[in-house]
Structures are given as structure tokens and as C-alpha cells.
Structure 1
Amino acid sequence: MAKRVSIKDIANKVGVSTALVSYVLNGLEKEKRIGPEVVKKIHEAVKELNYQPNQIARSLRKGSTSTIGLIVADISNPFFGQLARVVENEAAQFGYAVVFGSSDENAANSAILIKTLVTRQVDGLILAPPEGSAEQIKYLMNQGIPFVLVDRYLPDISTNRVVLDNYNATYSAVKCFVANGYRRITLVTYKSTLVHMRERIRGYQEGMKDNGLSDFIVVKEVRYNQIKEDMEAIMTGLLNERGMDAVLFATNALSISGLYAIRKSEVKVPEELAVIGFDGHEVFDFFQPPLSYIQQPLEEMGKESVRVLIDQIRGSQKTVHIEMRHQLITRKSCG
């Protein structure tokens, strides 16, 4: 087995002290007034000897691993996949790498991921907390571990968060339906106590009430781990009964699943059924007619989450609540 190249090996090759090599490798050559010729020789030796720094030792010296953890519901979900990409790119701008994990909306999985990442000494965490994770959030607070909640938050615990104006998002969708002559508007959402889902339901309900449509309020809930089966049953029932003339889907995954059910039914959109989805996705462009949808400012959410976290890592004691504004993209599916 080949011997691991050390700083001492580089120092011996160049003919300088190990301290001087360390200064150069840590970017302190100007501060320590090391000549450019020596710096060049050290970098050449590093390349020639294929020196790989000991990241664990470096982390201990710096008191930082230069990594952050990102825990979302499901990294394969288009919304969270895109969010993860933005977080990864933005973190790199600050010199951080990102370690990803999916909780599958399960508190036990989330607890394991948090413990694993904390044990690996990540500098901070960005979380989309599942139901039942309040104790995990309190643990992070008590341990003084920097973290930011994204997409959803816990209303009884004041923490850093970057979220959408969920209430206004669904309220504006109802308003759009009504403006185009639709009255029997159904909301399809997850069966969840999470605040962002409850706020989307509340926005829909208040929108219906404010437009004199209280009698037509219908909320259908889908189980997270039974999306396909529940969606098919819900949409088949609603379409067969002809009990609605418009449907609003509360998430990206529900929108995609709902579109497949609608296409399978051969219902004409928007003549027989108007549709508004949630979050942009390439599937929406292939659906005919093109789907209207509520757009979350994904890039801004990801970037702000990283910026808030970096501030916390650097010592900020300020608790930040950021609510991003949605955009309603209206196309031909809602009249």
C-alpha cells in the first residue's frame, strides 16, 4: 500500500519548513510574506507528489467541515430536486459542499438523518421538517446547531424559515377560476397537519367563502404514501359524479398524478374541467391545453435558505422569517 503523502514530504522536496508549506496550502503566503518563487515550487511539489490534504485534520484545525446538510421529503420529487440543485450551487459560492437526505415525510427517518449529519459535524442544516419532528427541531436549537426550515415550518416554534405565501397562493387560484366562470371548485391536497398544507387549504376555503361559494367547498385528501391509488379513486369519483367544474392541486406531485388521471378519463379541459396545478414542471408543457399553475420562486427560496444559514454559521443570533410571494401562471387550462 502506497504511503500517504504528507506536508513533511513536500517540505523536504522543496527544502523549506513544514510550517511554511502549511501557510501556502492555507492561502497565507501574502500574510506571511512568502516569495512567489517558493510558492510556485510548493504548488508544483503538491501536484507532482499528488498530495491530498487530510480533511478531518483540517476540519479540526478550522473548527469547520465546510459542509451543510439538506433534508427534504423526497429528493426525487421535482420540487425538492430542483431546490436541492439551487442549494448546492449557492452553497458552493460560499465554499460549502452539501450532503443530501430524504425523510419520506417520516419523522423517524428525519431523526436518523439529523443524528447522522450532526455526528458527521456538518456546519449547519436546511430542513423541510415532516410531521412529528418538533422535538428534533428543539434538539437542534438546544445544541446550538445552525439550521433553517424551508418550504414549511412549525408554528409553535420560532425558527429561521424561508417559505411561500401559501394562503395567498391558493386564494388567488380560486379568484382566477371564479373570474373565468367556474364555481364548483375542488381542492386536492395531502392528508397532513403540516402548516403549509393547512394554509393552502385555508386560502382555498376563504377564497370560496369570499366569492359566495361556501356551499361548493370540497377538499379531497391524498395519503403521501398512496398518491397513485388515492388520486385515481378521488378523480374517478369526482369526474363520474360531475360534481365539479374545476380542480386545484396543492402540490407538484399531486398535479402530475392528477393530470394522468384526467387524461385517462378523456375529460375535455377546460370545456368540462378547468385545472390549476402547483409548481412548474416540464410535464405541464406537454399537457393539452398547457396547464396553469402556481409558481413558487424556487431559486430565490434555495438561495435565501443558504444565505440565512451561512449568516447563522458565522454567528448571527437574529431569527429570520422570510415569506416568498407566489406567481400565478395562467394558461389555457383554466379558461
Structure 2
Amino acid sequence: MDRKVSLKDIAQKVGVSTALVSYVLNNKRENRVSKDLAQRIREAAAEMNYRTNQVARSLKTNKTYTIGLIVSDIANPFSSGLARIIEDEAEQLQYTVIFSSSDENARKSGKLIDTLLDRQVDGLIIAPPAFSEHQVIYLQEQQVPFVLVDRYFPDLSTNYVALDNYGAAFKGVEYLINTGRRKIGMITYDSALFHLQERKRGYTAALEAHGLPANKSFLKEIDIKLEQATVENVIQSLLSGNDRVDALLFGANKIAVAGLRYISSLPVKVPEELAIVNFDETEALEFYQAPFSYIKQPLPEIGRLAIRILLDSIERNSAPTQINLEGELVHKIP
């Protein structure tokens, strides 16, 4: 078995001190080292297949350089896209991310938190499911660094990065109104999650702001364990009778995929007879030829901010940072 390359080996190859090699490879600020020298050290480490002694590093810094990430469903394009961004950002900062999915289940979320803490992660990034406030309070009591992402609980003072869901829904509905639609429906999840409640509130507020009635029969809430048949039945009811909708706001990307799958099989012209706006852009929606608009969430910014806020919390135990980012409405309706 080959002997493991040490910092001393690299130092001898480059002709510098072991301390200087450690300084550069531990990603510390290099204002005391020229860029050329830092590059030579890194190149030598790569050529010699140097690997960080993580155990020694952890003992020295009292950190494991791992982060736990709990998303709602890693199979959901939104969650997987966010996870990818967080992983890439963390890697640049020499952190490893451990992924898991709560499946919108508070009990499972609690078990995952316990497992990640047992593995001594330095902090957590969590998209919390409904009714998991007690888990967040527990983390606060235990002084575990964490950031909530995508969702948060407005009554709890925590770090979070999320979309301005109220503003995004308002913007989407207002756009439909400005294109001449007057009977606008919404299909969303029946959930206590604050971000989904905010989307519903934005939908209603936009109608009221433009003098349109908030017809209760036009707002449909379905189980978060989405089934295709349920979406089809809801859409059929919205498109039946004399008082049928002329536009739809889908409150989540998975609802949009299921809804467009069904609408594409109907003799309904989109957007002439039915205009559509949905949350999030996903690859699955590329299979549908009908033009629709969508709210684009700033995923790269959400992921980068979540990592930066978490690491700042790990280092400084600073006051909570709370950020609501603006969504971009991508217009595709003539």
C-alpha cells in the first residue's frame, strides 16, 4: 500500500514551509501568498494525489465539514435543482452535503434530523414539511446552526431563504388579467405550509385589486399526495358549465405537469380559450407545445444564500437572516 502524501511532502516539492501549504489548501484567504505560489502548491497537491486528513482536520477545528440537507422530495425537479446548487456551492467551500427527503412527512423529517445530528453535521439546510415547527424549536434550543429554505414559519425567528410567494402569485394573476382574462381559477395543495398559503393569498389579492370577484368555486385545493385522477377531475369541473374559467394558475410544478398532461388531451385551445401560468420551470413542461407562462424562482441565488447564511451561522452564531426573493414572470402567453 502506497504511503499517504503529507503536507510536508508537498512543501518539500514546492520548496515552502508546511504551514504555508496548510494555509493554502485549507482555503484560507491568500492575501499573504502570491497567486502564482498558491497555484503551484495546488498543482503539486493534485499531482501527488494529496487527500485531506479529514479526521485530523476535524479534531483541530471541531468541525466535520459536512452539511445535512433535507428537501421535500429529491425526485421533484425543484428540490433536485436546489440540491445540485447547494452541493456545488458547498464543495467550493470544502464542505460535503448529505442529502435526504422528508416526503412532506413531519415524522420522517424528525428522524432525518436526528440521524444527521448523530453524524455530527456542522449545520442543516431544511425545507420543512407542515407541522414540523417543534423540530425547528428543538434545533434552536440545542443551538444547532440551520437555515430553512423554500419554506419557513412566520411565527418563528429563524434563518431562511425563500421566494416572495405572495408577490409572485399576485404578479402571475395580474398578468393574466392584463391579457384579458376575467375568470381565473387556481389549483393548489390543501396544505398548512406558509408558502402555499401565501400563493393562495396573492391569487385572491390580485383579483380583488382589479375589481374581480374571488369566486370560491374557482379555487381548488387538492391533497399534497398528488394523484393524476384528482387533477383531471378538478380541471374538468373548472371547464364545465356556463361559468367556466378562462385562465388557470397552477400553484406548484407537479400540479402543472399533471394538469397540462390532461389539458393537452382536451379540445381546448391554449391560450386562446384557456391561459395558463404555473410556478417553476421544469424539463417535463418542455413536452407540452401549448404556450404558457411561469414564475421562475431564483434557484441559484436561493442555494448560494442558504449555504452562505449557514456557514456564517456556524462561525458567528449571528442574528437570524431572513430573505424573501422576487420571482421572475416569464411571459409566453400572446
The structural deviation recorded for 1:237 is: 2.2
The structural deviation recorded for 1:302 is: 0.8
Question: Secondary structure of the equivalent of 2:265?
Answer: helix
Residues 202, 112 of structure 1: alpha-carbon distance in 2 compared, 3 angstrom cutoff: same
Counterpart Cα distance in 2 of 1:121 and 1:53: 19
Deviations 1:274-308 (A, max 9, x none): 11111112333442233210111111111111111
Aligned match of 1:311: 312
Aligned match of 1:284: 285
Aligned match of 2:210: 211
> Does residue 119 of structure 1 match 2:118?
yes
Counterpart Cα distance in 1 of 2:273 and 2:5: 73
**Letter matched to residue 305 of structure 2:** E
How do 1:163-242 residues align onto structure 2 when only pairs under 5 Å count?
163-217=162-216, 218-241=218-241
Question: Secondary structure of the equivalent of 1:328?
Answer: strand
Counterpart Cα distance in 2 of 1:65 and 1:266: 58
Question: Secondary structure of the equivalent of 1:224?
Answer: coil
Q: Which has the larger radius of gyration?
A: 1
Deviations 1:168-202 (A, max 9, x none): 11111111111111111111111101110000000
Counterpart Cα distance in 1 of 2:231 and 2:275: 17
**Letter matched to residue 277 of structure 1:** N
> Does residue 132 of structure 1 match 2:131?
yes
**Letter matched to residue 227 of structure 1:** E
Identity of aligned residues (%): 42
Aligned match of 2:76: 77
Cα RMSD after superposing both structures: 2.9
The structural deviation recorded for 1:51 is: 7.9
The structural deviation recorded for 1:52 is: 6.2
Question: Secondary structure of the equivalent of 2:67?
Answer: strand
> Does residue 295 of structure 1 match 2:274?
no
**Letter matched to residue 118 of structure 2:** T
Aligned match of 1:269: 270
**Structure 2, unaligned stretches of length 5 or more?**
none
2:161 touches 2:324 (CA, 8 Å); kept in 1? yes
1:284 touches 1:290 (CA, 8 Å); kept in 2? no
Give the total of aligned pairs.
Answer: 314
The structural deviation recorded for 1:53 is: 5.9
Residues 205, 69 of structure 1: alpha-carbon distance in 2 compared, 3 angstrom cutoff: same
Question: Which of 191-200 and 57-66 deviates more?
Answer: 57-66
Question: Secondary structure of the equivalent of 1:265?
Answer: coil
The structural deviation recorded for 1:226 is: 2.9
Question: Which of 237-246 and 298-307 deviates more?
Answer: 237-246
Aligned match of 1:250: 251
Residues 90, 7 of structure 1: alpha-carbon distance in 2 compared, 3 angstrom cutoff: closer
